[in-house]
Structure 1
Amino acid sequence: MKAIKLLPLVLLFLVASCSSVRVTTDYDTTTDFSKYKTFAFYKKGIDKVDISDLDKRRILKAVESEMLALGFTKSENPDLLVNIFTKSRQKVDIYNNNMYFGWHPWYYGPNFGMHITKYTEGTLFIDLIDATKKELAWQGIGSGALNTSGNVIKKEERIKNFVAQIMEKYPPQIKK
């Protein structure tokens, strides 16, 4: 009976884990991030991104919004160039919940069996490139389940969420 009471919590955890974004970052430890004040998008790199133009615009709009919120100004002569890259893959999660009450061979009681979830996991890379040196200064990587339901509003929200959680890690907190 305790297991039946815990089932809603387990399902909630599974749903929550699918909706979260796992974020990692990497950066050049010798870079003074306080010197960067302006940005522009790296058109040559962004043109190579293999996603729909609609999704590309959604991502760029979300990145621009986060950069402006961080105090950056968009410029024709930027300190930072912003580039993006994406990739996706199909994922399958299997949750085995073989709960049997009673005794063998009839297995008296409920059998919840196996729960299989299929979804698309996407990864978004946001690169901040020092425009003067033409070197990568910071990279944020976010991975998580994508919204493939066809609901455009939910897709836009998911993209904003991805970008916001990645950019939350900029500038890096350099530990001395």
Structure 2
Amino acid sequence: MRLLMIAAMALVLSGCASNVVTDYNPSAVFGNYSTWSFAQEAGSDAFVSLDGSRIQMAVERELKRKAMRKVPKTEADLLANWQIVEEERLEQTGVGLGFGFGRGNFGWGISAPPPVREVTEGKLVVELIDTETKEVVWRAASRRYLNESQSPETRRELIDEVVSEMFSKYPGVVKGVRIQDEEAS
């Protein structure tokens, strides 16, 4: 029974774990920001990747929900910058094999580790920069990853979920008092 309770508690706590990490400048007055623009605007020789356009649409949607207006870069209070940071990790692709023999408290064994492969994944990072001070005032990084094996629909859904969760942690303003939205867990 004790083991079952520990397993249930671990499951509850893992459900409360956030998929994003945010940081912000506590001296910034977020209620003063009402306009924004992307830091990198597509020009005549620039292009936006497929994931880039998905990210831009999600960021636009979330800032609009925060009652912020998109304006030309020269008139913006905040610049929105995003990047996909590539990280490599090893992924187990099978099972290890081993055998052994022995008697009592003594024995010999040999095993082969499971086969692994290197996988490159992308972590989304979004930053908001104050145009007056040229400093980052808010930053969010995803703990969920994009990888090359995901379908376009899965990638879009993941980006939408992650960006929505990022901006749910954006500091808000209530009647002139700055508050930090807390995750209810």
TM-score, normalised relative to structure 1? 0.65
The unaligned stretches of length 5 or more in structure 2 are 1-6, 103-112, 172-178
Please say if residues 79 and 128 of structure 2, whose CA atoms lie closer than 8 Å, have aligned partners that are also in contact.
yes
After superposition, the Cα gap between the structure-2 partners of 1:35 and 1:143, relative to the gap in structure 1 and judged at 3 Å, is: same
The answer to which of 121-130 and 141-150 deviates more is: 141-150
Aligned to 2:85: 87
Pairwise CA RMSD: 3.9
Aligned to 1:67: 63
Q: CA deviation at 1:122?
A: 2.2
> SS state of the match for residue 149, structure 1?
coil
Q: Give runs of aligned pairs for residues 58-137 of structure 1, distance below 5 A.
A: 58-76=54-72, 77-92=75-90, 120-137=120-137
Please say if residues 40 and 81 of structure 1, whose CA atoms lie closer than 8 Å, have aligned partners that are also in contact.
yes
Matched, 1:36 2:14: no
2:30 corresponds to which letter in structure 1?
F
The unaligned stretches of length 5 or more in structure 1 are 1-8, 99-103, 106-112
> SS state of the match for residue 43, structure 1?
coil
Q: CA deviation at 1:117?
A: 8.8
Q: Could you list the runs of 4 or more consecutive aligned residues of structure 1 that deviate by over 4 angstroms after TM superposition? A: 113-120
Matched, 1:25 2:25: no
State how far apart, in whole Å, the 1-side matches of 2:137 and 2:150 are: 36
Q: CA deviation at 1:91?
A: 2.2
After superposition, the Cα gap between the structure-2 partners of 1:21 and 1:148, relative to the gap in structure 1 and judged at 3 Å, is: farther
State how far apart, in whole Å, the 2-side matches of 1:43 and 1:31 are: 23
Q: Which is strand-richer, 1 or 2?
A: 2
Q: Which is helix-richer, 1 or 2?
A: 1
> SS state of the match for residue 163, structure 1?
helix
Please say if residues 37 and 76 of structure 2, whose CA atoms lie closer than 8 Å, have aligned partners that are also in contact.
yes
2:132 corresponds to which letter in structure 1?
T
Task: Provide Cα deviations, 1:92-144, integer angstroms capped at 9, x if missing partner.
Answer: 356xx99xxxxx77xxxxxxx97979754322111111112211111111122
Please say if residues 41 and 83 of structure 1, whose CA atoms lie closer than 8 Å, have aligned partners that are also in contact.
yes
Greater Rg, structure 1 or structure 2?
Answer: 2
State how far apart, in whole Å, the 2-side matches of 1:70 and 1:117 are: 42
Residue correspondences, number: 149
Aligned to 2:49: 53
TM-score, normalised relative to structure 2? 0.62
State how far apart, in whole Å, the 2-side matches of 1:93 and 1:21 are: 23
- How many percent of aligned residue pairs carry the same amino acid? 29
After superposition, the Cα gap between the structure-2 partners of 1:81 and 1:151, relative to the gap in structure 1 and judged at 3 Å, is: same
